[in-house]
Structure 1
Amino acid sequence: MAETLEELGEMLTDLNDASKQVGLKMNMDKTKVMSNEHVSSSPVTVGGVTIEVVDQYPYLGQVIRLGKSNFDKEVARRIQLGWAAFGKLRHIFTENIPQCLKTKVFNQCVLPVMTYGAETWCFTKGLIHKLRVAQRAMERAMLGVSLRDRIRNEEIRRRTKVTDIAKRISTLKWQWAGHVARRADDRWSRKVLEWRPRVGKRRVGRPPTRWSDDLRKVAGSRWMQMAGDRLGWRSLGEAYVQQWTTEG
């Protein structure tokens, strides 16, 4: 990360030179450059190769994207990957085996694919709704029913007994928030959480949803200090999860 593209180019050149000294080689096809609107676009060249400039890129299993609604595409990708995992296991979900085994397979093989990295997402009602709609469709496929059968969602969940995706991702985020807030070292997760990059006047219109907004609704503005009390934080987590499981 750098403040200017010139500085970034120098950092990449240093990395390339240091890599060669120990017998390593940078993969320029997998090396990309991303910048926000405050940086003037100009080419970055390393070792005679111009690095491609992109507006999004999958990194460590997630799509990194700058700007508003930067989690929409990641959620859509997660749903697509969830359906892919579901399709590979469809023979299990359609076979005449006990429902408890189907539930276990779904919770351990499909749900983790859809919720990987969810603790880093900025939750919105629309995001939660998309995930729950996808899960309901999978549950109907597990039972061999369709929307035309007019079976209520509550009844379908009673039959499948799978973990609600909204409950899973909100639980993951609450646990991760407490874990990061209690860190006393100098790691990046704590630094990024406390970083305040915006300066000057903000744009007209509704401000973008911040990662900690939904945490503040339950624990208040001093939520990081409250996370130090593990028992109290765990009890507040029930209210936090409840606010998302009742949506949509």
Structure 2
Amino acid sequence: MAETLGDLKTMLNGLSRASQQVGLRMNMGKTKIMSNAHVPLQPVIVENAALEIVDEYVYLGRTIQLGRSNFEKEVNRRIQLGWAEFGKLRAIFSSKIPQCLKTKVFEQCVLPVMTYGSETWSLTMGLIRRFRVTQRAMEKAMLGVSLRDRIRNVEIRRRTKVTDIAQRVAKLKWQWAGHIVRRKDGR
């Protein structure tokens, strides 16, 4: 972080030089510039490469953006990642193994991908609903049930015994709050 583009250029060039002295190299393709409305944007050049200017980017598995936090894009991204993980495990979910094992795989592989970092999200009822709709679609796929079968969601949940994603997010939030409260180091 820097207050001016000049300070930022100086810091990045210093980081690049220090990295090279210990045998490391900055990845200019992954290095991005993001600023608030108070800094006029100009290209920043490090090692003869202009760094990309972005409004948002993914850092440590989470979308970072300045300004008012809107988790809609992050929820969309998490749902997409959840479907990707579900797709990788489709052979397991469509196999003849017992439902309790499918549920365990779902709760240990797919749900964590969808809820990673949710402890700090401010979710609206609409975003929670989108998570639930996605989870129900995945549960129907696990059971081999289609909408034409007209099986109620309650029955699908009874069969899969999967934890509701909204309950999982709430539990993660409470666990995080407890972790923060128990700190004794003054932070």
TM-score over 0.5 (shorter chain): yes
Residue number in structure 2 paired with 1:48: 48
Kindly state the Cα deviation for residue 82 of structure 1 after the two structures are TM-superposed. Answer: 0.9
Code of the residue aligned with 1:114 in structure 2: it is: M
Kindly state the Cα deviation for residue 149 of structure 1 after the two structures are TM-superposed. Answer: 2.6
Residue number in structure 1 paired with 2:117: 117
Regions of 4+ moved over 4 Å: none
Kindly state the Cα deviation for residue 142 of structure 1 after the two structures are TM-superposed. Answer: 1.1
Residue number in structure 2 paired with 1:136: 136
Deviations 1:48-71 (A, max 9, x none): 322110112111112222234532
Code of the residue aligned with 2:101 in structure 1: it is: L
Kindly state the Cα deviation for residue 31 of structure 1 after the two structures are TM-superposed. Answer: 0.5
Code of the residue aligned with 1:13 in structure 2: it is: N
Q: 1:21 and 2:21 equivalent?
A: yes
Code of the residue aligned with 1:116 in structure 2: it is: Y
CA distance in 1, matches of 2:86, 2:101: 14
Residue number in structure 2 paired with 1:35: 35
Paired residue secondary structure (1:28):
coil
Residue number in structure 2 paired with 1:11: 11
Code of the residue aligned with 1:49 in structure 2: it is: A
Residue number in structure 1 paired with 2:147: 147
Code of the residue aligned with 1:42 in structure 2: it is: Q
Code of the residue aligned with 2:90 in structure 1: it is: R
Kindly state the Cα deviation for residue 134 of structure 1 after the two structures are TM-superposed. Answer: 0.3
Residue number in structure 2 paired with 1:59: 59
CA distance in 2, matches of 1:7, 1:181: 37
Kindly state the Cα deviation for residue 100 of structure 1 after the two structures are TM-superposed. Answer: 0.7
Code of the residue aligned with 1:31 in structure 2: it is: T
Kindly state the Cα deviation for residue 47 of structure 1 after the two structures are TM-superposed. Answer: 2.8
Deviations 1:122-173 (A, max 9, x none): 2221221111110010011111222233222211111100111111112112
Paired residue secondary structure (2:51):
strand
Residue number in structure 2 paired with 1:212: none
Kindly state the Cα deviation for residue 181 of structure 1 after the two structures are TM-superposed. Answer: 4.2
CA distance in 1, matches of 2:5, 2:162: 48
Residue number in structure 1 paired with 2:106: 106
Q: CA RMSD in A?
A: 1.8
Code of the residue aligned with 2:89 in structure 1: it is: L
CA distance in 1, matches of 2:178, 2:11: 34
Residue number in structure 1 paired with 2:178: 178
Paired residue secondary structure (1:97):
coil
CA distance change for structure 1 residues 38 and 178 in 2, over 3 Å: closer, same or farther? farther
CA distance change for structure 1 residues 12 and 168 in 2, over 3 Å: closer, same or farther? same
CA distance change for structure 1 residues 72 and 108 in 2, over 3 Å: closer, same or farther? same
Code of the residue aligned with 2:166 in structure 1: it is: A
Q: 1:164 and 2:164 equivalent?
A: yes
Kindly state the Cα deviation for residue 2 of structure 1 after the two structures are TM-superposed. Answer: 2.3
Kindly state the Cα deviation for residue 104 of structure 1 after the two structures are TM-superposed. Answer: 0.8
Q: Taking every aligned residue pair, what percent have the same amino acid on both sides?
A: 71
CA distance change for structure 1 residues 124 and 3 in 2, over 3 Å: closer, same or farther? farther
- Structure-2-length-normalised TM-score: 0.90
CA distance in 1, matches of 2:46, 2:92: 50
CA distance change for structure 1 residues 42 and 172 in 2, over 3 Å: closer, same or farther? same
Paired residue secondary structure (1:138):
helix
CA distance change for structure 1 residues 176 and 2 in 2, over 3 Å: closer, same or farther? farther
Deviations 1:1-33 (A, max 9, x none): 223333222221221121122222111111101
